[in-house]
Amino acid sequence: MQGTFGRMVLGFIAAAISVLIVHQGIIYILSNFGMVRGTPWTMRPIGYGPFPTLPLLANSVFWGGLWGALFGLLYDKIPGTLSWLKGLIFGILVVVFSNWIFLPLIRQYIFKYPPQALFAGFNGSNPMVLLPGFLILTGFGLGLGIVYGILARR
C-alpha cells in the first residue's frame, strides 16, 4: 500500500496484531507475577463510556489501532533506520505522553471519570509504579514496529 492512507491502514493492522499478541501477552505475564490486576484477552464489557457493553479486548484493539495509524503517519519522521527501533521509540513516547500525562487529564477533566494520578501516581518514592505501564506500552511499540516492518515490505 502506497501513500498516506496506505501507511495508516498498515499501521492500524500492525497495531491490532501487536495488541492481540504482545500487549495482551505482557499483561498475561505481569498478572502472573502480581504486577498488574487484570485479565488478558478478556471479553468482559468495559462498563463505561459511550459503548459500555463493548468488550475490553475490542476496545484495546481499536485504540491500539489508532495509535498504529498515527505510527504509520509518523514512521518516516521517527529517528532510526530499523522498524523495530522506530516502534520502540514510538512506544516510549506513547507511554510518557498518553498514559502518564494526557489520559489522566482527559479522563478527569473532560469525561469526569474517577481521578487518575499523573505519571501513574509516581511521587519519587516508588519508581516501580511506572514499570508495568512502561513494559506493556513499549512492548506494544516494539511489536508494532516489527509487524509494520514486515507488512510494509510486502
Mean pLDDT of successive 10-residue stretches along the chain, which has 154 residues: 89 98 95 88 83 89 95 95 96 83 64 55 62 90 97 88
Total count of domains within the chain: 1
pLDDT digits (tens, 9 = 90+) for 101-121: 677 666 665 555 555 555 555
**3-class DSSP assignment, residue 47:** coil
CA torsion angle for 94, 31, 45, 71 (degrees, to 10)? 20
CA 76 to CA 70: how far, in whole Å? 11
Secondary structure (DSSP) of 109-132: HTS-PSP--GGGG--SS-GGGGHH
- pLDDT the model gives residue 47: 76
- pLDDT the model gives residue 116: 55
What's the whole-model pTM score?
0.83
Residue span of the structural domain in which 136 resides: 3-153
Sign of CA dihedral 103, 69, 17, 13: positive
